[in-house]
Amino acid sequence: MQRILEEERNTQRKVAEVLQQALQVGVGLEKQHEEKVQARREDVGKVFPDSPLFKEWGGSLSEDEQREAQALFDKYGYNVFLSDRLPLNRPLPETRDPRCLKRTYPKDLPTVGVVLIYLNEALSIIKRAMRSIIDRTPKNLLKEIIMVDDNSSNENLKGDLDMYVKSLQEENPGLRIARVRHTEQRGLAYARASGWRAATADVVAILDAHIEVHKMWAEPLLTQIKGDRTVVTSPVFDRVNFDDLKVIPYLSAAHAFDWALWCMYEGFSPDYYKLNDSSLPGKSPSVMGILVADRKYLGEVGLLDEGMKVYGGENVELGIRVWTCGGSIEVVPCSKIAHIERFHKPYLPDLSPAMRRNALRVAEVWMDEYKHNVNLAWNLPFENHGIDIGDVSERKKIREKLNCKPFKWYLDNVYPKLDPWDNLLAYGGMKNLDADLCIDQGPVPGHTPISFHCYYYGPQMVYYRTTGELYVGGIKSHKYNDNRCLTDAGQKNTEPGLYNCKEAINLLFQGKELKNRQTKRCLEIIKGVLLIQECTGQRWTIQNIIKELK
């Protein structure tokens, strides 16, 4: 019996040794396989080493996959290759202020109709937007989704999207899904107005189609509108990276703009921060474009300016109009929407011409004596700028009918941070008539202006104020920003400087000379070099005179 047990134990040891050897061989083979795969990946490398798409993402893709991803990125401006592989109902991170999680909202809120605007959007992006809206909006509040196609050319936005919409309607029989298709591209303002016209809900939420809504996104907005039907609201947008589609939390901020009417984020008023509660709604001078408002009120106040073309300006026009005509704008931090930040937009390679034209249109209708600040921002003459802004007579009638306040009231009471530029005397390129050269801001970063042949573009833009300040290279739109002034650094220095105007010893126009009041020295050009020296009578001229130079 003892011998049998010994033999059995020996057999078990041999089996164990064989199994261990086999396991080691298996691990070794697996490791070799991983090393070969990694080596192949390293051999592949980046097919598009300079592409922003692959700066942080895509290291494990094959060459064919990289080419497919890059082609889609070139077309859409975001990572469609990845989007097509993500779940349509992917979870979003919780990014709200913790105080938002404790808030409760009325049960008898108004219904909402969501308008999704798109032009050649990726199919998976639109599907994910619709899925998030349906999944994260209470069924008793979500009355309809209205899809506005601004004449897309993508084939899959026809039959394939139709099939998806049909499946959603079958899953949600009480939900209305309407389709609006333009037969020609009309631009954002017209598309948003088309969606509004198709809506029937109490409140309309006009959104881009490259979004995903967070849970509880609708209730905070609807609560504000229920309390005051004249308030136009905006959620806070979290950024979705264009490359890896990760959600980056954004803090709440006011939606502002500069005199060129480009949008920007800005702090709320000092009174807001005294409340020490960043979950509270904050007043805002404007909206970024995504907006939620009482449907009937939006129509009463003039909807959107459908005379705007392509992109930009309609949101600033709405903000000015709502405020001056009796309403208000609020950003609501407890409402969050994740919004893809495109690397490039689908409308035009350069949106500046459309933005400039639309900005001039806003200025003509709403800005009164301050309308020329838009010309200044775009470096255009005050008269005969040669840009057709279209017929604005109907928009002026709306302003008159609603008995809206003047733009100065808006500057004083709603947007006091915007510098009114009301003491500018002249602007444009500044030319030395003797040397036939212009002042140029020179290398940036740097503080040394130079003389250069006159091309009258950004680095040569000069602005002269009654204070004697001579800005070079641009003028800032806001009071909280300092400009760079042309400076005489003192008797021991013959090199002019460009420094913050609060620190500058300024040069003044005196006749045709540019002379410093304290040092009595002049800005002159000697052998092509810009110098501060004893005056020899060199003459300067500036492109555009607003008021008489003394």
Q: Give the integer Cα–Cα distance in Å for 331 and 291.
A: 10
Domain harbouring 455, CATH code:
2.80.10.50
| 275-284 exposure pattern, b = at least 16 Cβ within 10 A, e = fewer | eeebbbbbbb
Helix 393-401 crosses helix 352-366 at what angle (to 10 degrees)? 40
pLDDT at 22: 45
Q: Is residue 272 part of a domain?
A: yes
pLDDT at 383: 84
User: Is the CB of residue 261 less than 8 Å from the CB of residue 352?
Assistant: no
Q: What is the mean pLDDT of residues 287-301?
A: 96
- At which residue do the structure tokens 């020296």 appear? 533
The first and second tokens of residue 474, run together, are: 């641009």
Last residue of a domain, one of 325, 340, 355: 340
User: Is the CB of residue 57 less than 8 Å from the CB of residue 79?
Assistant: yes
Last residue of a domain, one of 300, 323, 340: 340
The first and second tokens of residue 295, run together, are: 């449907």
Nearest to 532, CA basis, from 478, 499, 500, 486: 486
Q: Is residue 58 part of a domain?
A: no
Q: Could you tell me the pLDDT band of residue 346, with boundaries at 50, 70 and 90?
A: confident
| Coil/strand/helix, residue 222 | helix
Same domain assignment for residues 333 and 447: no
| Residues listed for the chain | 550
Q: How many helices (H) and strands (E) does the chain have?
A: 14, 24
Q: What is the mean pLDDT of residues 110-119?
A: 97
Q: Tell me the CA distances in angstroms from 503 to 110, 485, 532, one per residue in order.
A: 55, 9, 18
Q: Is residue 497 part of a domain?
A: yes
Q: Is residue 88 part of a domain?
A: no
pLDDT at 128: 98
Mean of all residue pLDDT scores within the chain: 90
Above 90 in pLDDT, residue 125? yes
Phi (first) and psi of residue 444, to 5 degrees: -125, 130
Nearest to 451, CA basis, from 460, 462, 461, 438: 438
Same domain assignment for residues 327 and 432: no
Above 90 in pLDDT, residue 44? no
pLDDT at 507: 60
User: Is the CB of residue 242 less than 8 Å from the CB of residue 341?
Assistant: yes
Q: Could you tell me the pLDDT band of residue 502, with boundaries at 50, 70 and 90?
A: confident
The pairs formed by 268-276 with CB atoms below 8 angstroms and a separation of 24 or more are: 268/331
Q: Is residue 172 part of a domain?
A: yes
HEC profile of 40-106: HHHHHCCCCCCCHHHCCCCCCCCHHHHHHHHHHHHHHCCCHHHHCCCCCCCCCCCCCCHHHHHCCCC
Q: Is residue 67 part of a domain?
A: no
What number of CA atoms fall less than 13 Å from residue 429's CA on the CB side?
Answer: 17
pLDDT at 15: 41
Q: What is the mean pLDDT of residues 211-227?
A: 98
Q: Is residue 74 part of a domain?
A: no
Residue 361 buriedness (CB in 10 A; 0-12 / 13-18 / 19+): buried
Helix 393-401 crosses helix 314-324 at what angle (to 10 degrees)? 20
pLDDT at 43: 44
Same domain assignment for residues 188 and 331: yes
Same domain assignment for residues 314 and 463: no
User: Is the CB of residue 411 less than 8 Å from the CB of residue 324?
Assistant: no
pLDDT at 76: 95
The one-letter code for the residue type at 15 is V
Above 90 in pLDDT, residue 206? yes
Same domain assignment for residues 480 and 335: no
The first and second tokens of residue 73, run together, are: 């990125």
The 8-class DSSP code of residue 286 comes to B
Which domain covers residue 436, as residue numbers?
424-545
- Summarised one tens digit per residue, pLDDT across range 243-285 is 999 999 999 999 999 999 999 999 999 999 999 999 999 999 9
Above 60 in pLDDT, residue 166? yes
| Coil/strand/helix, residue 395 | helix
Same domain assignment for residues 155 and 295: yes
- Summarised one tens digit per residue, pLDDT across range 424-475 is 999 999 999 999 999 999 998 899 999 999 999 889 999 998 888 899 998 9
- Bridge partner list, 329: 232
| Coil/strand/helix, residue 525 | strand
User: Is the CB of residue 147 less than 8 Å from the CB of residue 178?
Assistant: yes
Q: Give the integer Cα–Cα distance in Å for 49 and 58.
A: 11
pLDDT at 10: 52
User: Is the CB of residue 440 less than 8 Å from the CB of residue 460?
Assistant: yes
Nearest to 280, CA basis, from 225, 333, 316: 333
Q: Give the integer Cα–Cα distance in Å for 445 and 41.
A: 40
- At which residue do the structure tokens 């010309």 appear? 375
Q: What is the mean pLDDT of residues 483-502?
A: 85
- Summarised one tens digit per residue, pLDDT across range 2-38 is 443 344 445 445 544 544 554 454 445 455 545 544 5
Cα–chain center distance at 93: 22
Domain harbouring 261, CATH code:
3.90.550.10
The first and second tokens of residue 464, run together, are: 């002269």
Nearest to 278, CA basis, from 239, 331, 319, 225: 331
Q: Which residues contact 521 (CB under 8 A, 6 or more apart)?
A: 488, 491, 515, 532, 533, 534, 535
Last residue of a domain, one of 281, 305, 340: 340
Q: Is residue 316 part of a domain?
A: yes
Look up the pTM and report it. 0.86
Total structural domains in the chain?
Answer: 2
